[in-house]
Amino acid sequence: LGLEYQRSNFSLTANKYHPLSNKVVIGDYTEEALSGHDIKVTGQIPYIPWAKIKGTHYYWDQSAGGSINGSILGVEVQLSPSSSIEFGQEDSNTMEHSGYAKLNLSFPFNTNEKMTSFAFDKKRLEIQQEWI
């Protein structure tokens, strides 16, 4: 079950998970679908229309061994209309802090595509009006 709110400069998703299957034993391992939830928020950084801050909180209710919960915080920088880089860190009760970096590419590239100018904007937030 989930909810989403999307705008050009902000998004929020919230999901609640309910297991539909029982435990399955495969060799020496037992797999189990877990109940839980996650909440994700993404927003444009004020005055920086080419950068977004991203946050996620998750919780999984595990019947054996304790629950899993954690948070992810990152920044995404738009390099061009079809490429971006994201970096951040994750903190969970089941592992040590870990950092990450991710390069996103969308194909096909537009041959007239320009790189982001990385200039600060005079407006606090960039709002695009799009109707689908």
Distance from C-alpha of 61 to C-alpha of 59, rounded to nearest angstrom: 7
Quick one: pLDDT band at residue 129, thresholds 50, 70, 90? low
With beta carbons less than 8 A apart as the criterion, state whether 36 and 60 touch. Answer: yes
pLDDT at residue 130, rounded to an integer: 52
What is the SS3 string spanning the chain?
A: CEEEEECCCEEEEEEEECCCCCCEEECCEEECCCEEEEEEEEEEECCEEEEEEEEEEEEEECCCCCCEEEEEEEEEEEEECCEEEEEEEEEECCEEEEEEEEEEECCCCCCCCCCCCCCCCCCCCCCCCCCC
pLDDT at residue 64, rounded to an integer: 74
- Average model confidence (pLDDT) across the chain: 90
**Per CATH, the architecture of 2-18+33-105 is what?**
Beta Barrel (2.40)
Quick one: pLDDT band at residue 40, thresholds 50, 70, 90? very high
Instruction: Write down the pTM of the prediction.
Output: 0.79
Share of the chain above pLDDT 70, in %: 95
pLDDT greater than 90 at residue 123: no
pLDDT in tens, 79-115: 998 999 999 999 999 888 999 999 999 888 777 888 8
